[in-house]
Structure formats: C-alpha cells, structure tokens
C-alpha cells in the first residue's frame, strides 16, 4: 500500500523503486532485492539518469547488464528465472560467477514489463545460501516487479505529456507570431 501511495502522490520514481525493493525484502526474509533497468531503446541507463544522487538508490537501482545473464534473459523472455543453487547451476556458471563471489547462494530474476509489454528491466532477489523458493515468495517478487512497472509507466506517461505540452506550446506560439 505504501508503494502504491508513493506512486500516486508523485514521489520520484527512484525513491519508489527503492521502496519496492525494501517492501519485497521485508516479506522475503534474508533476501537482498535490487532493480536493474533498461532505457526505452533497450540500452543501459546512464548512472546519473537512474540514481538521482541518492546513495540508497545507487545501491538499489542500477543498469541492467546486457549479455548472457539470467537478469537480461528474464526481461527478454518475459519470464521469471530462479536459480536455487548458484554453485551447481550449469546453465549460468559464467554469468553468475560474480554473484557467487559476492556470497550469493540463490537468486530470482523477475522481468519488469510495462503495460505495453515493453521490457523495462529486472527485479533481482538474492539470498546468501542455496534455497528453493515457494509459491508465495515468487508471487511477492512478481507483485513487486509489477509495482516497479507501474511506477516506470507513470514516469513515461508524465514525460510524454510534458513533451506533448511543449510541442503544443511551440505550435501555438508560432501561430500567434504568424497572425
């Protein structure tokens, strides 16, 4: 509820995404949750664009790394990828090496998909030990990703409206000057 209230009241999207991560962690005991974003052209976001200078946002909201990685695969395939044991998963051995070295034992990668089915990023939850995720934990992650998508869609809509208003103002000014 707090996340949706933050979205509705115009809290900055970076702060909303941090709140999404914290809310998910509260329900997923022992998890670390981060949000990895793509820009509109499926490119990495510039660090200044996505973090806004807030230290907690810089730790929680980051660019999505392109390439063979479950975070990128999740957003491309629009499906959740769960790796119960990073140490024994043959599919993602190379891609997950840095996570294993950071002490991660299990992880889930949930796509963040906009209302237009556009790829926005991936919500990543990680745990220090290998573990199987239950249905309730997966639902929590999917709802958290949906909340992130709502916040990002709202920002896109606001930016589009602002651009449209600017174009209208320019056309109107040109018409007034021409009369």
pLDDT tens digit sequence for 3-54: 888 888 888 888 899 999 999 999 998 999 999 988 654 444 432 333 333 4
pLDDT reported for residue 28: 95
Tokens coding 164: 């449209």
Q: Give the separation between CA 127 and CA 112, rounded to whole angstroms.
A: 20
How confident is the model over 59-82, as a mean pLDDT? 81
The answer to whether the beta carbons of residues 36 and 121 sit under 8 Å apart is yes
Alpha helix ranges (H) inside the chain: 2-8, 13-27, 47-51, 55-60, 70-77, 97-101, 135-178
> Does residue 75 carry a pLDDT above 60?
yes
The answer to whether the beta carbons of residues 60 and 37 sit under 8 Å apart is no
> Does residue 170 carry a pLDDT above 50?
yes
Backbone angles phi, psi at 119, to 5 degrees: -70, 125
Which is more confidently placed, 51 or 152?
A: 152
pLDDT band per the 50, 70, 90 thresholds, residue 160:
low
> Does residue 134 carry a pLDDT above 90?
yes
Q: How many other C-beta atoms lie within 10 A of the C-beta of residue 103? A: 12
Q: Which of 23-32, 56-65, 155-164 has the lowest mean pLDDT?
A: 56-65
pLDDT reported for residue 55: 46
How confident is the model over 45-71, as a mean pLDDT? 57
DSSP summary character for residue 6: H
pLDDT band per the 50, 70, 90 thresholds, residue 66:
low
Q: Give the separation between CA 34 and CA 110, rounded to whole angstroms.
A: 11
């Amino acid at each position: 509820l707090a996340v949706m209230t933050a979205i509705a009241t115009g809290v900055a999207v970076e702060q909303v995404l941090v709140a999404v991560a914290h809310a998910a962690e509260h329900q997923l005991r022992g998890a670390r949750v981060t949000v990895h974003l793509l820009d509109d052209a499926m490119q990495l976001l510039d660090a200044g664009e996505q973090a806004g200078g807030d230290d907690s946002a810089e730790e929680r909201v980051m660019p999505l790394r392109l390439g063979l990685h479950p975070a990128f695969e999740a957003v491309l395939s629009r499906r959740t990828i769960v790796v119960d044991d990073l140490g024994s998963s043959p599919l993602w051995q190379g891609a997950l090496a840095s996570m294993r070295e950071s002490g991660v034992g299990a992880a889930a990668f949930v796509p963040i998909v906009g209302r237009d089915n556009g790829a926005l990023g991936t919500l990543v939850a990680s745990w220090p030990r290998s573990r199987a995720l239950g249905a309730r934990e997966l639902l929590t992650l999917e709802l958290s990703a949906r909340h992130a998508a709502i916040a990002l869609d709202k920002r896109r809509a606001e930016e589009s409206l602002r651009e449209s208003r600017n174009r209208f103002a320019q056309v109107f000014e040109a018409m007034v000057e021409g009369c």
